[in-house]
């Protein structure tokens, strides 16, 4: 248990490491109870006199040798955080032997055992739990590894790079030797050892080299890894065609782990994955699961260039690899979704992907950027780096890369990326190095301009607001658009007393529609560019104006098309204007956005009504707007499923001055029920028109139909349509794929009669109890049901299938209840908050990284109605005052209370 007072590390304090570690040889005698690690480092001094400081945590030191001689105890000190050696010469061979205890390691950082298999997790600072080493990303070395273990229990021995030898040893043990030809920081080291099966294929890279691709999993899952292997092949091809980036290894391995803190990890040539992002078959995985598998496989594969070949100088630069790699995986998915479709369908598929990404950004990142953990995509300081694998670093980081692509254009962006690799291949660099490479191209195509204002996106936190003012002059037929940006200080900025923040470079895509919804050709005054339907405005100052000529009448503006920047737009649309945009905008993203805004208005008004004890009503024009999308024949099913979905609760909550979560959820449910009731015949028609008979395929067209059909079913059931319960029950019982089965079960649990729901839940467990990923789904459905309160959750926690030690299982129940169950979690008696405090503390004793994520459920406590926020604050204080709290949780709860 860590008890030291928190230390804040700041970006400015970076110092290069005084030694080079040119080569590392790691030798493992693997034993679950106590593993012996012998590490041989070739060191080269770069700075006179500096002692050698190596990180190390929870290790037992056995011996230290310098150039073959045992080191005298007077020459070194060992402490809780590492080892310091004095008086080393210019070039030294250092050999350190130490022990660690994989079996007892519940943190899942360093070397641990999951399901009888050894795994490692080293990013960010896990390598120091394996052996003493400079555990920082700018120390790069050539690694060779020897693994030794009992052959019967651990027949497969894997590490990074190429297998160079495997031999049987006496006493039933065997060993394998691996060599990674590339320099890497220790956070990319990995080993896996155990009983595993695998599926493999051989493919040729662009330049004609044959490479071996393998996906490993627990025995018995070999029939669930085919999609993952195919996704890996698609990722490999895509990076070649889109960015001319080729796989640099002869062998690329993915291993599924049941116990894993995050989604997956890009260790060089040996990616370790949360099993949830590898294993799939139609009976147990949903369309969303298939999509996530392909995205995460792409993401980790793309890290091989953006992260591994070029890595981060320090952890403040995390977005250098994560923002860029999220951008790459989003583009990969968009391209895969559009493959094989005609132009219109392909454009719609891309918009659907863009909508999904923006929904995530708004539900997860916008609240973060307005709360106590708000930080720039390149943070200025941290206490625990594990707390900074955030939606801001990842998702906003990706938006910042996307804006650079928008400003440079796709070709310019590709050229900038090529320049980045020319300059920095094999190095550990900074975000600024990335922007500088992009800027070198930007300056060629935009003479006299640079990215100096753009760079502020890396140093500022908070979601900027862009206020739009439009003037129209009948006499001159001119329309003037004025944009004004602002970004209030948030989080650490506020605490540091920062009051003014410099403006950002905001690419703002827009169009104008006439009163019939027809796109108007845009002709900017003073520009001789040909008129077009869409225009990219570049706002680089606090405020600026643009004048459009030959506009026949006062237009309706279509703003922030394709979400061209991660900002909040402020413009006073009338409901009628939003309805017009929703019906006609040529930009499909903006069209979706208009509908979401209309729904937001309805739900927020209904929330006020609920709070005031008034009946919540729905405007007829809103119902008609929904009907027109529901019955539109020019829109595909996947798109309509997004356009007809109600805005997320977390996004709506950000719009309220004082959050009353139960009133909000009640209003949102009421709206769903009303739309269900008033459009029943149209929902039923959508159910009938979107059946997907025949063999299951997770392709985007079929998935879009299922999404539309299942959305319609939920509306129908919520609206009390008499035929709906039988339809949903029938779908639950007879469906041949998990998407339809889960959708039916979810509808029953949330909107159906209790007995029908309980019967189906029991059946589901019976059917799937031997599949952990399906059991997670079963817990999640109950955790998020509006009928679930703390008592129900506590009952589920003593279910034999529940354990807090497995992160996926903890997430499926505890996190889902605390984060996604407004009715149960926010009970006015505060029982949900006390439960949260208990679970944060229980998890903290096992796994601080996971506990700190749960701790963040209270981030926005200050915004809730007083009766709730007082109790939330109390729960936060109870946690903060608990002795022996980890550094991870300490940072989160103290920031929340600051
Ligand atoms: N680097 C991983 C990714 O984004 C995430 C990760 C971080 C995994 C820390 C494990 C631990 O792909
Ligand atoms: Zn990543």
Instruction: State the average pLDDT over residues 270-299.
Output: 99
Nearest to 574 by CA among 553, 601, 552: 601
Instruction: State the average pLDDT over residues 647-664.
Output: 98
Nearest to 780 by CA among 810, 744, 738: 810
> Which residue owns the Cα nearest ligand 1 atom 11?
123
CA 118 to chain centre: 26
180 lines ligand 1 (CB under 6 A): no
Sign of the alpha-carbon torsion through 278, 284, 289, 291: positive
What is the whole-number distance in angstroms between the Cα of residue 265 and the centre of ligand 1? 5
Instruction: State the average pLDDT over residues 199-206.
Output: 98
331 lines ligand 1 (CB under 6 A): no
Q: Does domain 196-308 have CATH number 3.30.2290.10?
A: no
Q: For residue 1, what pLDDT is reported?
A: 45
Nearest to 779 by CA among 791, 792, 848: 792
505-546 pLDDT tens trace: 999 999 999 999 999 999 999 988 888 999 999 999 999 999
- For the domain bounded by 578-769, which CATH number is listed? 1.25.50.10
416-432 pLDDT tens trace: 999 999 999 999 999 99
- Which ligand 1 atom is the nearest neighbour of the CA of 307? 1
329 lines ligand 1 (CB under 6 A): no
What is the whole-number distance in angstroms between the Cα of residue 300 and the centre of ligand 2? 6
CATH topology agreement for domains 1-106+129-189 and 465-572: yes
Query: Both ends of the chain: CA-CA distance in Å?
Result: 24
- Which ligand 1 atom is the nearest neighbour of the CA of 386? 9
> Which residue owns the Cα nearest ligand 1 atom 5?
265
What is the whole-number distance in angstroms between the Cα of residue 381 and the centre of ligand 2? 20
- Buried/exposed code over 667-676 (b: 16+ C-beta within 10 A; e: otherwise): bbbbbbbbbb
264 lines ligand 1 (CB under 6 A): yes
Gap between the Cα atoms of 552 and 554, Å rounded: 7
Return mean pLDDT, the chain. 97
Instruction: State the average pLDDT over residues 403-411.
Output: 98
- Buried/exposed code over 537-562 (b: 16+ C-beta within 10 A; e: otherwise): bbbeeeebebbbbebeeebbbbbbbb
675-701 pLDDT tens trace: 999 999 999 999 999 999 999 999 999
Nearby residues of 78 by Cβ (< 8 Å), 6 or more positions away: 56, 61
851 lines ligand 1 (CB under 6 A): no
393 lines ligand 1 (CB under 6 A): no
125 lines ligand 1 (CB under 6 A): no
What count of Cα atoms within 13 Å lies in the side-chain half-sphere of residue 139?
A: 29
CATH superfamily of 465-572: Aminopeptidase N, middle-beta domain (2.60.40.1840)
- Give the residue, 495 or 255, on which the prediction is more confident: 255
Q: For residue 264, what pLDDT is reported?
A: 99
What is the whole-number distance in angstroms between the Cα of residue 863 and the centre of ligand 2? 31
What is the whole-number distance in angstroms between the Cα of residue 255 and the centre of ligand 1? 14
Give the confidence band of 2 by pLDDT, cuts at 50, 70, 90: very low
Q: Which residues pair with 141 in a beta bridge?
A: 184
- Which ligand 1 atom is the nearest neighbour of the CA of 124? 9
Question: Residue 867: is it exposed, middle or buried by C-beta count within 10 angstroms (0-12/13-18/19+)?
Answer: exposed
Gap between the Cα atoms of 410 and 403, Å rounded: 11
Helices 754-768 & 738-751, crossing angle to 10 degrees?
Answer: 150
What is the whole-number distance in angstroms between the Cα of residue 319 and the centre of ligand 1? 12
The number of the ligand nearest the C-alpha atom of 125 reads 1
Cis peptide before 162 (omega within 30 of 0): no
- The ipTM (two decimal places) reads 0.99
> Which residue owns the Cα nearest ligand 1 atom 2?
265
What is the whole-number distance in angstroms between the Cα of residue 295 and the centre of ligand 1? 14
382 lines ligand 1 (CB under 6 A): no
Coil/strand/helix, residue 575: helix
13-52 pLDDT tens trace: 999 999 999 999 999 999 999 999 999 999 999 999 999 9
Question: Residue 480: is it exposed, middle or buried by C-beta count within 10 angstroms (0-12/13-18/19+)?
Answer: middle
735 lines ligand 1 (CB under 6 A): no
850 lines ligand 1 (CB under 6 A): no
Give the confidence band of 4 by pLDDT, cuts at 50, 70, 90: low
Coil/strand/helix, residue 405: helix
Residue 402 · residue 361 · CB < 8 Å? no
Coil/strand/helix, residue 808: helix
85 lines ligand 1 (CB under 6 A): no
What does the domain layout of the chain look like in residue ranges? Answer: 1-106+129-189, 196-308, 319-458, 465-572, 578-769
Q: pLDDT at residue 113 above 70?
A: yes
Token readout for 729 is 């029950």
311 lines ligand 1 (CB under 6 A): no
- Which ligand 1 atom is the nearest neighbour of the CA of 299? 12
Q: For residue 6, what pLDDT is reported?
A: 83
Q: Could you tell me whether strands 556-558 and 184-185 are parallel, antiparallel, or unpaired per DSSP bridges?
A: unpaired
Nearest to 99 by CA among 140, 58, 69: 58
Pocket test for ligand 1, best of 120, 121, 127, 265 (most atoms within 8 A of CB): 265
3-state helix, strand, coil in the chain (%, to 5): 45, 20, 35
Q: pLDDT at residue 561 above 50?
A: yes
Nearby residues of 704 by Cβ (< 8 Å), 6 or more positions away: 352, 636, 637, 638, 639, 641
190 lines ligand 1 (CB under 6 A): no
What is the whole-number distance in angstroms between the Cα of residue 386 and the centre of ligand 1? 10
Token readout for 365 is 């990142």
Token readout for 881 is 């005052």
Pocket test for ligand 1, best of 107, 109, 120, 264 (most atoms within 8 A of CB): 264
Calculate what percentage of the chain has a pLDDT beyond 70: 100
The number of the ligand nearest the C-alpha atom of 398 reads 2
The number of the ligand nearest the C-alpha atom of 110 reads 1
**DSSP 8-class letter at 864:** B
What is the whole-number distance in angstroms between the Cα of residue 122 and the centre of ligand 2? 13
877-886 pLDDT tens trace: 999 999 999 9
Across 385-475, where does the E strand assignment appear? 428-429, 465-473
- For the domain bounded by 1-106+129-189, which CATH number is listed? 2.60.40.1730
The number of the ligand nearest the C-alpha atom of 321 reads 2
- Which ligand 1 atom is the nearest neighbour of the CA of 389? 7
Residue 797 · residue 249 · CB < 8 Å? no
- Which ligand 1 atom is the nearest neighbour of the CA of 261? 10
Q: Give CA separation, 77 vs 62, 64, 488, 593, 601, in Å.
A: 13, 11, 48, 61, 64
55 lines ligand 1 (CB under 6 A): no
CATH superfamily of 319-458: Neutral Protease Domain 2 (1.10.390.10)
Coil/strand/helix, residue 92: strand
Pocket test for ligand 1, best of 108, 187, 261, 262 (most atoms within 8 A of CB): 262
Q: pLDDT at residue 859 above 90?
A: yes
Global model pTM greater than 0.95? yes
Pocket test for ligand 1, best of 389, 395, 398, 850 (most atoms within 8 A of CB): 389
Q: pLDDT at residue 477 above 60?
A: yes
Gap between the Cα atoms of 273 and 118, Å rounded: 13
CA 620 to chain centre: 38
762-811 pLDDT tens trace: 999 999 999 999 999 999 999 999 999 999 999 999 999 999 999 999 99
Instruction: State the average pLDDT over residues 661-682.
Output: 98
- Catalytic sites, residue numbers: 300
849 lines ligand 1 (CB under 6 A): no
The number of the ligand nearest the C-alpha atom of 257 reads 1
What is the whole-number distance in angstroms between the Cα of residue 54 and the centre of ligand 2? 26
716-748 pLDDT tens trace: 999 999 999 999 999 999 999 999 999 999 999
- Which ligand 1 atom is the nearest neighbour of the CA of 260? 10
Q: For residue 499, what pLDDT is reported?
A: 87
Q: pLDDT at residue 5 above 80?
A: no
């Amino acid at each position: 248990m860590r008890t030291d007072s928190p230390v804040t590390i700041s970006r400015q304090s970076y110092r290069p490491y005084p030694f080079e570690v040119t080569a590392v040889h790691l030798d493992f005698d693997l034993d679950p109870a106590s593993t012996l690690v012998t590490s041989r480092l070739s060191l080269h001094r770069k700075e006179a006199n500096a002692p050698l400081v190596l990180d190390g945590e929870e290790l037992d030191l056995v011996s230290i040798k310098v150039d073959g001689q045992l080191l005298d105890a007077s020459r070194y000190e060992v402490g809780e955080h590492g080892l310091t050696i004095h008086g080393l010469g210019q070039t030294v061979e250092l050999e350190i032997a130490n022990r660690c205890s994989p079996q007892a390691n519940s943190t899942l950082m360093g070397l641990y055992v999951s399901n009888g298999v050894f795994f490692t997790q080293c990013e960010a600072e896990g390598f120091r739990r394996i052996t003493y080493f400079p555990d920082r990303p700018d120390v790069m070395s050539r690694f060779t590894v020897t693994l030794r273990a009992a052959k019967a229990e651990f027949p497969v021995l894997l590490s990074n790079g190429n297998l160079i030898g495997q031999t049987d040893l006496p006493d039933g043990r065997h060993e394998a030797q691996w060599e990674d030809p590339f320099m890497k920081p220790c956070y990319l080291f990995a080993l896996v050892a155990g009983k595993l099966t695998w599926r493999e294929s051989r493919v040729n890279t662009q330049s004609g080299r044959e490479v071996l691709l393998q996906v490993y999993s627990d025995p018995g899952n070999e029939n669930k890894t085919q999609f993952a292997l195919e996704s890996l092949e698609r990722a490999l091809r895509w990076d070649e065609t889109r960015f001319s980036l080729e796989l640099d290894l002869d062998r690329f391995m993915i291993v599924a782990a049941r116990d894993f803190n995050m989604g997956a990890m890009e260790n060089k040539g040996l990616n370790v994955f949360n099993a949830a992002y590898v294993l799939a078959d139609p009976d147990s995985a949903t369309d969303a699961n298939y999509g996530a598998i392909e995205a995460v496989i792409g993401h980790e594969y793309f890290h091989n260039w953006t992260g591994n070949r070029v890595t981060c100088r320090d952890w403040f630069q995390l977005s250098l690899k994560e923002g860029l790699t999220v951008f790459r995986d989003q583009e990969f998915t968009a391209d895969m979704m559009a493959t094989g479709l005609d132009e219109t369908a392909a454009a719609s598929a891309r918009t659907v992907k863009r909508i999904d990404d923006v929904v995530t950004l708004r539900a997860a990142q916008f609240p973060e950027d307005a709360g106590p953990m708000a930080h720039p995509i390149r943070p200025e300081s941290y206490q625990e780096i594990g707390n900074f694998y955030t939606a801001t670093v990842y998702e906003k980081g990706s938006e910042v890369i996307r804006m650079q692509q928008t400003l440079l254009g796709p070709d310019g962006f590709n050229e900038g990326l090529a320049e980045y690799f020319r300059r920095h291949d094999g190095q550990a660099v900074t975000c600024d190095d990335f922007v500088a490479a992009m800027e070198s191209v930007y300056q060629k195509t935009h003479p006299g301009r640079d990215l100096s204002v753009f760079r502020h996106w890396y140093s500022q936190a908070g979601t900027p607001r862009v206020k739009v003012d439009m003037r129209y002059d009948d006499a001159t037929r001119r329309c003037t658009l004025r944009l004004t940006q602002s970004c209030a200080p948030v989080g650490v900025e506020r605490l540091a007393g920062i009051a003014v923040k410099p403006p950002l470079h905001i690419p703002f895509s827009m169009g104008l529609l006439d009163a019939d919804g027809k796109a108007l050709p845009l002709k900017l005054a003073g520009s001789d560019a040909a008129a077009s339907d869409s225009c990219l405005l570049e706002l680089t100052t606090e405020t600026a104006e643009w004048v459009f000529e030959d506009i026949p009448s006062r237009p309706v503006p279509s703003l922030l098309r394709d979400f061209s920047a991660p900002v909040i737009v402020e413009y006073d649309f009338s409901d009628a204007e939003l309805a017009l945009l929703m019906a006609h905008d040529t930009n499909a993203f903006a069209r979706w956005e208009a509908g979401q805004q209309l729904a937001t208005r309805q739900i927020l008004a209904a929330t006020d009504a609920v709070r005031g004890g008034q009946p919540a009503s729905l405007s007829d024009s809103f119902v008609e707007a929904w009907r027109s999308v529901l019955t539109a024949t020019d829109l595909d099913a996947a798109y309509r499923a997004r356009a007809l979905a109600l805005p997320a609760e977390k996004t709506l909550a950000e719009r309220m001055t004082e959050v009353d979560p139960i009133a909000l959820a009640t209003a949102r449910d009421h709206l769903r029920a009303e739309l269900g009731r008033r459009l029943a015949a149209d929902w039923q028609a959508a159910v009938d028109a979107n059946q997907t008979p025949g063999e299951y395929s997770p392709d985007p067209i079929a998935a879009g139909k299922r999404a539309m059909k299942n959305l319609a079913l939920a509306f129908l059931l919520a609206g009390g349509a008499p035929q709906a319960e039988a339809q949903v029950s029938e779908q639950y019982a007879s469906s041949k794929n998990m998407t339809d089965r889960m959708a039916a079960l979810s509808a029953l649990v949330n909107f159906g009669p209790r007995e029908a729901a309980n019967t189906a839940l029991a059946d589901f467990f019976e059917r799937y109890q031997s599949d952990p990923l399906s059991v997670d789904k079963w817990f999640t459905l109950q955790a998020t049901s509006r009928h679930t309160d703390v008592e129900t959750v506590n009952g589920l926690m003593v279910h034999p299938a529940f354990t807090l030690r497995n992160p996926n299982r903890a997430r499926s129940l505890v996190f889902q209840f605390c984060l996604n169950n407004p009715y149960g979690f926010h009970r006015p008696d505060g029982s949900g908050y006390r439960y949260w405090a208990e679970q944060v503390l229980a998890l903290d004793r096992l796994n601080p990284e996971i506990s700190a994520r749960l701790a963040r459920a209270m981030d926005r406590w200050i915004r809730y109605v007083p009766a709730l926020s007082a109790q939330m604050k109390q729960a936060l204080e109870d946690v903060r005052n608990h002795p022996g709290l980890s550094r991870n949780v300490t940072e989160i709860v103290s920031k929340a209370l600051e």
